[in-house]
Structure 1
Amino acid sequence: MRGRTTVAPIACALAGVLALAGCGSGNEKDTGASASASASSPDASRFSGTPPSALASKKESIKASASEAAESASERAEKFEASVSADLERKRQEFTKQLDKVDGEGNAVRDVELTGKRLADTKGVRAVVVHITNTTDKKASYAVQVDFSDSDGKVVETKVVGAEDLKAGGRAQPLAISTKPPEPHLKASVAKAQRY
């Protein structure tokens, strides 16, 4: 009887130690998992504001790209306009230079005709279509001076236009545009036309 009584408390004690060990080992797993979660989670106290979402970042990126594209297109348009203006000015200077050499009307007045555009079609701007036809059998350039005169025959404005490198039988239709107001009426005429 004595032997049985001693074994029972020892068995209970061993069972208790094993139970505690089992509990301890379970707690370590829980602690480890929870420590691991704490280590990978950001500390919210270290951030100010809210971090941008992926959608907000993408939206800002698209806005920036669109803005850059618009600015780039605007710059290209300005450069193109400047190059066109420079080219027109260069041509006008060449046409003027050719007309300055001419005594009288020039050698190509018969190759040029004028047609007025209706003010309703040009939003009140006086414009004349200068029809140039190369009546020769070889390539040629033309310089034309268009005078705008008032009812008394006084020239109030002069415009110079032309066409470069027209092939034989080729035609061009530059515009002579007046800067004068639509009223009073002005008459347009070919003052000089030179083929060169």
Structure 2
Amino acid sequence: MKPSIAHRAGLRGRRRILLASSLGGVLLAGVVAGCGGGAGQNGGTTAQPSASSSPNASSFSGTPPSAMASSASEAVSSARASASAAASSASARASEFKASVDAETQRRSATAEKELKGVTGRGNAVSEVAMTGLPRAQTGGVLAVLVTITNKTGSEASYAVQVDFKDASGKVVETRYVGAEHLQPGKKEQPIAFSHQPPEPKLTPVLAKAQRY
């Protein structure tokens, strides 16, 4: 007896299901084989990236972008400008300080000369003043003497000192004045008397007058 139409349709449906299952199994086996390739003894580990995944070194030129180079150049220029400005400022301050020192020295010299004009003899403070010649190597070849003024009294005092520079015959060739103002008891100051004469002929500094006022 021939199978009915419904029976034949059912057989064809089951064959399709079996065929689909078989194909699915083959595809799954292929996928598993592809993932496990080259596992060897480390069959359970993740495959390492190949060397071809490394960045191409030829794509790096070693030269910074123009914007970075420009910024670096500007930074260097700015640093140099700052250093130059600092040096100029330091030089200006040094010049100002020297000028102020020269001005103060001239003022004290003028005050000392004024105080000594009416003094007869050597003055009342010769014992409070000592002089030491400075080596020419330290003064650039200029004849100079360090004048040490010490207040040996019990109260504040000011001092005026006259230094004469004499030649070999005893003649006064040049006179310089130095001083100390508002010197406290027991304190001392050490102004320097410079000669403006040439190195030759040689001169000798002499304490001419010293007045406390």
The answer to whether TM tops 0.5 is yes
Give the TM-score of the pair, scaled to structure 1: 0.67
1:115-126 correspondence to structure 2 within 5 Å: 115-126=132-143
Distance (whole Å) between structure 2 residues aligned to residue 73 and residue 171 of structure 1:
31
Q: 1:62 aligns with which of 79, 86, 98?
A: 79
Report the AA paired with residue 119 of structure 1. R
Q: 2:155 aligns with which of 138, 151, 168?
A: 138
Pair 119,64 (structure 1): closer, same or farther in 2 beyond 3 Å = closer
Deviates more, 1:119-128 or 1:94-103: 119-128
Report the AA paired with residue 73 of structure 1. A
Pair 70,121 (structure 1): closer, same or farther in 2 beyond 3 Å = closer
Give the TM-score of the pair, scaled to structure 2: 0.62
CA offsets 1:156-175 (integer angstroms, 9 cap, x no match): 01111111222112222222
1:34-113 correspondence to structure 2 within 5 Å: 53-113=70-130
Pair 104,71 (structure 1): closer, same or farther in 2 beyond 3 Å = same
Deviation of 1:121 (Å): 4.2
Distance (whole Å) between structure 2 residues aligned to residue 67 and residue 131 of structure 1:
40
Distance (whole Å) between structure 2 residues aligned to residue 126 and residue 172 of structure 1:
20
2:195 is matched with 178
CA offsets 1:1-52 (integer angstroms, 9 cap, x no match): xxxxxxxxxxxxxxxxxxxxxxxxxxxxxxxxxxxxxxxxxxxxxxxxx887
Q: Percent identity?
A: 53
SS of the residue 2:83 aligns to: helix
Equivalences, count: 147
1:32 is matched with none
Distance (whole Å) between structure 2 residues aligned to residue 121 and residue 186 of structure 1:
17
2:13 is matched with none
Distance (whole Å) between structure 2 residues aligned to residue 187 and residue 194 of structure 1:
21
1:12 is matched with none
Distance (whole Å) between structure 1 residues aligned to residue 209 and residue 172 of structure 2:
14
SS of the residue 1:64 aligns to: helix
1:30 is matched with none
Distance (whole Å) between structure 2 residues aligned to residue 157 and residue 190 of structure 1:
12
Deviates more, 1:114-123 or 1:170-179: 114-123
SS of the residue 2:139 aligns to: coil
SS of the residue 1:53 aligns to: helix
